[in-house]
């Protein structure tokens, strides 16, 4: 196969998709490969992203464009460099506690204030992402959306 496309797949199994701040996500990652592969490693990540509108000004005028901004990211290595075959990995990721102020238009993750309303930023979307890092090739990866609510 060319550049890792069609070389295999990753599946992520989660017991549920709704989590609260401070809760632990206990999941399973299943790696299926067409043949054994040398890789830099396999990892699972908890990531929060949002779309942000930005403006660029150049000699032709003002241009609005949208970028994805990472608000939170924690990566957990499951296995380092080596040869990989079909295998399963259990993992645990802790959802950060989200401190919500009374006005409900902002919250804090790991000491960073995040505004949810206004400013051209979209809602925050949470994902569990698994990837096998293949050298000189496209990584094999899977991205699963989850919901995260403030701590109880």
Model pLDDT, residue 112:
57
- pTM for the whole thing? 0.79
Structure tokens at 78: 């499951």
Residue spans per domain, the chain? 8-146
Model pLDDT, residue 43:
97
Residue that has been written with the tokens 């102020």 in this structure: 101
> Which residues, in sequence order, are CB contacts of 126 under 8 Å at separation 6+?
19, 46, 47, 48, 95, 145, 146, 147, 148
Q: Answer yes or no: are the C-beta atoms of 125 and 28 closer than 8 Å.
A: no
Distance CA 43, CA 45 (A): 7
Phi, psi of 37 (to 5 degrees): -130, 140
Q: CA-based angle 133:144:149, to the nearest 5?
A: 125
Q: What's the gap between Cα 28 and its chain centre? A: 15
Given this structure, which CATH class describes domain 8-146?
mainly beta
Model pLDDT, residue 102:
44
Q: Answer yes or no: are the C-beta atoms of 44 and 128 closer than 8 Å.
A: yes
Model pLDDT, residue 106:
57
Q: Answer yes or no: are the C-beta atoms of 44 and 13 closer than 8 Å.
A: no
Model pLDDT, residue 103:
43
Residue that has been written with the tokens 């150049």 in this structure: 58
* Long-range pairs for 10-15: beta carbons < 8 A, 24 or more residues apart: 10/130, 10/131, 10/132, 10/140, 10/141, 10/142, 11/142, 12/44, 12/128, 12/130, 12/142, 12/144, 14/128, 14/144, 14/146
pLDDT string in tens for the chain (152-residue length):
344 457 899 999 999 999 998 999 999 999 999 999 999 999 999 999 988 888 888 888 888 888 888 989 999 999 999 999 999 999 999 999 876 554 445 555 655 555 555 556 678 899 999 999 999 888 999 999 999 987 65
Model pLDDT, residue 1:
38
Model pLDDT, residue 98:
74
């Amino acid at each position: 196969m060319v550049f890792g496309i069609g070389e295999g797949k990753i599946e992520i199994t989660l017991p549920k998709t709704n989590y609260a701040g401070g809760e632990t996500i206990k999941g399973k990652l299943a790696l299926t490969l067409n043949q054994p592969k040398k890789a830099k490693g396999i990892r699972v990540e908890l990531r929060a992203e949002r779309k942000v509108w930005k403006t660029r000004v150049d000699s032709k005028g003002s241009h609005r464009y949208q970028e994805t901004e990472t608000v939170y990211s924690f990566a957990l290595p499951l296995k380092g460099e080596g040869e990989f075959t079909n295998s399963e990995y259990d993992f645990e990721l802790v959802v950060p506690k989200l401190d919500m102020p009374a006005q409900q238009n902002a919250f804090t993750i790991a000491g960073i204030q995040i505004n949810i309303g206004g400013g051209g930023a979209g809602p925050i979307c949470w994902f569990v992402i698994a990837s096998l890092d293949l050298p000189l090739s496209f990584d094999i990866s899977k991205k699963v959306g989850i919901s995260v609510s403030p701590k109880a």
